[in-house]
């Protein structure tokens, strides 16, 4: 091969760039995030009533479009009534409907958003729900 070292350096850079993800992940496991739906508000509800506004698959895939649509409907059209696929009515409100149950942003929203590298701008306007005060073991008093 002519100019072998130049070409080999180039090929090494090429291979390094394209297999970058493999090296970064070598020997690491990437556990799938598990969201927590054990907030006090959800626990208060009897088992059969523990449902979101739409079914699980729809919420997992399309909640961002639903919420975006809710924003436009509530804030631009002033219409705060949502009728879901089953005909049930809900009040359109992030604070009073979504977060009433899902009050655990860190364990619910952020888990998947961080995993998928998504940075929604909900909290540019909305107040981040206060996290439940956790019963942390008291540190030593020193």
Q: Looking at 115, 123, 126, 131, which residue binds other proteins (CB under 8 A)?
A: 115
Q: How far is the CB of 90 from other proteins (least distance, A)?
A: 18
Q: What are phi and psi of 83, to 5 degrees?
A: -110, 120
Instruction: Answer for the pair 90, 53: CB distance below 8 angstroms, yes or no.
Output: yes
- Which one of 40-48, 64-72, 76-84, 86-94 is the stretch in contact with other proteins (CB under 8 A)? 64-72
Nearer to other proteins, 77 or 135 (CB): 77
Near other proteins by CB under 8 A, which window of 12-20, 75-83, 84-92, 100-108?
12-20
Nearer to other proteins, 1 or 127 (CB): 1
Interface with other proteins, residue 16, by CB under 8 A:
no
Residue 109 exposed, middle or buried by CB count within 10 Å (0-12, 13-18, 19+):
buried
CA distances from 120 to 96, 98, 124 (A): 19, 15, 9
d(CA 117, CA 120): 10
The only residue of 16, 25, 81, 123 in contact with other proteins, by rule CB under 8 A: 25
């Amino acid at each position: 091969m002519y100019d072998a070292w130049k070409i080999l350096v180039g090929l090494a850079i090429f291979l390094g760039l394209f297999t970058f993800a493999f090296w970064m992940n070598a020997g690491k496991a990437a556990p799938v995030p598990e969201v927590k739906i054990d907030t006090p508000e959800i626990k208060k509800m009897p088992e059969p009533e523990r449902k979101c506004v739409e079914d699980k698959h729809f919420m997992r895939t399309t909640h961002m479009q639903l919420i975006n649509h809710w924003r436009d409907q509530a804030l631009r059209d002033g219409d705060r009534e949502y009728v879901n696929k089953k005909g049930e009515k809900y009040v359109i409100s992030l604070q009073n409907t979504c977060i009433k149950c899902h009050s655990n942003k860190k364990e619910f929203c952020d888990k998947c958003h961080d995993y998928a590298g998504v940075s929604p701008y909900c909290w540019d306007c909305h107040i981040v729900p206060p996290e439940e005060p956790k019963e942390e073991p008291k540190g030593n008093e020193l």
